[in-house]
Amino acid sequence: MRKFSFYKVFFSVLLSFIFFESDWIQAQQIQSHLTENIYMLPKRISSDSFNYLHNFISTNNSFAIGNTNGVLRMDSIIASSVEGGRSKVLFEYDDEGNIKNQLFFHNIGNVWFNGYSDFYYYDETGNRVLEIRLEWNINNWDTLSRIDYIYKSEGKLFQYIFQSFSEQGWLNKFRQTFTYDSNGNRVNTLEEVWIENKWQNNFMVEFYFSEVNQQDSLIFQISDNNEWKYFSKTHFYYNLQTNFLEYFLFKLWAGSGWIDYLRRSILNDLNGNQIEHLEEIWEQGNWTNSVKRIFSYNGLNYTESAYCEIWNVNNWIPGNDIIIIENPDGFSIAFITHSMNIYYLVTSINEDISTNPDEFVLSQNYPNPFNSSTQISYQLPMSGMITLKIYNVIGQEVAELVNEVKQAGVHTVQFDGSNLASGVYMYKLSAEGRSGNFVSTKKMMLIK
């Protein structure tokens, strides 16, 4: 049986004050008229837990879980587990382009049910100052929690305070305080929990940067009887030519020194988008495969889809694990799930790109993963000879979808994989251009 990623176990066991949505949800606990079937639902990681996760492994030094005047606005996100459970997030924006509401649904028995509703409030500069979460309870929305954000004069987030709601009113749970260096990098995160009517240290993260202002490492410490004790350390390594993050190494404190635990290797595209994560666990003197995540992006570098696989003895199989989505506008969200698909609202910018293409683009298939049938779109800035072919993981051609001259514009073709086995496939677009040939390949997942 595969080991869970360490930080997932650490969140759910050691830090009980940070709550996830339930692993297993029994149908009759949500609506009494449903059957007694049990569904595994994707778990959306709450914003407080998400920030905690970033303290462990992320080079993203900003705290921004929201869209502030991005080029694209999201319509929805759908997360699907291997067991067939699904969760959905719908977005609503204010006149300034900030997310003002996120509504979370769970799908049980092919019926969508309310889960949570998060409301966001901003100051005149666009900084989020308040987050209120409501929880659906049979047929009413109950107030669940709030987060208040406090900023320094220069706009840097100084502190946020998490409170839960009860019959006694708002109750302090924990707060995080942030310190920055002269370059604006966060160099310290201090979390305190509210115990016996006072704030008490819980954990601290120290961030270190290189001479060229790249995050070099972070050290995670836990408070034990008012004494700070090492827990983990993460080192980050970058490509010398591109400066893109190539991998990080996660170590645990063993009392007298650091020992290897987890390594994540990262494959980037030419724009610096992370298109593949490979995580390995250090076991008995060797790195052992654990989790692999695949990401796809649109032409504006916004995430379109992601899915993960887990290592099972000697091969990769579909599995559930943490997937983090990070977009160029600062929006971030995380689920424990198998796959995520992000859908964007049609904007004038997006329409211009679609109807007047000035470059070759091969888009990610939709839906992905898919069951038997999916659509593949591509855009051409000029007419020319086009081929679009499907290959299996060992490079064998299994289908040819296009082999003819196509006019400039946006084209969509349907692919029927009903005669193929479940697994990962590649689709490859080849086109003739004035300045040379264009070739682009993307991955897709067929699940039956």
State the residue range of the domain holding 393: 356-446
pLDDT at 435 over 90: no
Q: What is the DSSP letter of 368?
A: S
Domain boundary among 326, 346, 366: 346
365 with 407, same domain: the answer is yes
What is the overall mean pLDDT for the chain? Answer: 80
213 with 312, same domain: the answer is yes
Q: Are 56 and 220 in contact (CB under 8 A)?
A: yes
Q: What is the C-alpha to C-alpha distance for residues 248 and 144, in angstroms, rounded to an integer?
A: 36
Q: Are 51 and 58 in contact (CB under 8 A)?
A: no
Domain count within the chain: 2
pLDDT at 60 over 50: no
Read off the tokens for 255. Answer: 């009392």
385 with 340, same domain: the answer is no
Instruction: Indicate whether 172 belongs to any domain.
Output: no
What confidence tens digit (pLDDT) does each residue in 280-331 have?
A: 999 999 999 999 999 998 878 889 999 999 999 899 999 998 888 888 777 8
Read off the tokens for 83. Answer: 């067991």
Domain boundary among 290, 313, 346: 346
What confidence tens digit (pLDDT) does each residue in 122-174 have?
A: 999 889 999 999 999 988 999 999 999 999 878 889 999 999 999 889 999 99
| CATH number of the structural domain spanning residue 106 | 2.40.128.720
Tell me the pairing of strands 169-180 and 99-108: unpaired
Q: Which residues, 6 or more positions from 48, have their beta carbon under 8 angstroms from its beta carbon?
A: 18, 147, 162, 174
Q: Which residues, 6 or more positions from 76, have their beta carbon under 8 angstroms from its beta carbon?
A: 88, 89, 90, 91, 342, 343
